[in-house]
Chain A
Amino acid sequence: MADSGSKALQAKEKAEVSTPAEQTRPGLVFTPAVDIFETDKEITLLADMPGVKAGDLDIDLHDNVLTLNAEVQAPEGDGELDVIREYRTGKYYRQFTLSQVIDQAKIMAELKDGVLRLRLPKVEAAQPRKIAVNTA
């Protein structure tokens, strides 16, 4: 189901979001692009968050609401002047409501090359189970 075609990638500007609550520090906030898919056993979320290190990412799940919050340091040094600026950097923030019941103890998060892979295993009872019918 994944595209591996050789079509050319289109540039997309980063989507800015206005968070419902005001931040304590002013700055831009962006919505990261995500892929969400589920299998029988778990829900997986992949988020593009370039420039985020593992220590700056905060993942919160309570009341079936999943919140992704990541700080990004401005990569430019002090003495650098802009020649061309096509994108801006800022925090990432996105919230999802999960309909399934998740086994919180087994959540796994991996952040590699700016892509977050979050695996949310479903609680055993929520996994569909086939019940074999025994013929007597």
Chain B
Amino acid sequence: MLLRRRTGWPAWGWRSPFEELERMRREMDWLSSGLSRGLFVEPSAGVYPLMNVTEDGDNYSVRAELPGLKADELDISVTGDTLSISGERKLAAEDEKAQYHRREREAGTFSRIVRLPGQIDTGKVEARCADGVLTVILPKAESAKPKQIAIKAS
């Protein structure tokens, strides 16, 4: 009884002698990766581009940082509750004789789908791309907006 509460093992059935070691190894890996990444670890899909989704009473807003991309290089589409963004980031071709000291920027294709917490009105979606930041405003469908319910005192 005490054993079960303290360690969470099932009191019966011990599938393999290495199961406990396996669990400890996984937890150590997770801890050490957390230490090296810094104290504030954001949950991330790890897919480019990183996006922030916010909501207020009437809309969802999705923002992504896409430096160097213009509005016509992006492909955005929506369905009932998902938003999909895809495109290709190209780097300008520079002089052939140029010698690079640093190359930290990358080019390539990207494609990402985000599922929103509620249904949206697909006819009224607006998207803006300014200064390398893409902002998509998705108005909530009428059924998804919060409605106040009056309480009757009887």
Contact = CB atoms under 8 A, between A and B. Distances in A.
Nearest to A99: B101
A77 B55 CA distance: 10
Interface residues of A, number: 46
A113 B132 contact: yes
A33 B105 contact: yes
Contact of A114 (B56, B110, B131): B131
Contact of B108 (A8, A51, A53, A77): A8
Interface string B55-76: 1110011010111111000000
Contacts of B53: 82-85
A5 B19 CA distance: 44
Contacts of B133: 50-51, 75, 114
Contacts of B67: 48-50, 113-115
B63 to A, nearest CB: 6
Interface in A76-135: 76-77, 79-88, 113-115
Nearest to A111: B131
Contacts of A33: 104-105
A52 interface: yes
Given A4-B90, A39-B95, A13 B44 contact: yes
A86 B42 contact: yes
Contact of A3 (B51, B65, B108): B108
A61 interface: no
A80 B56 contact: yes
Interface residues of B, number: 58
A38 interface: yes
A23 interface: no
A34 interface: yes
B105 A35 contact: yes
Interface string B23-48: 00000000000000010001111111
A86 B131 contact: no
Interface of B: 38, 42-57, 60-61, 63, 65-70, 88-111, 114, 116-117, 129, 131-133, 135
Interface of A: 1-13, 16, 33-40, 44, 46, 48-53, 75-77, 79-88, 113-115
Given A5-B108, A6-B108, A37-B100, 16 more contacts: A9-B106, A9-B110, A13-B44, A16-B38, A38-B98, A44-B94, A49-B67, A49-B132, A50-B65, A76-B61, A77-B56, A80-B61, A81-B55, A82-B53, A84-B114, A114-B133
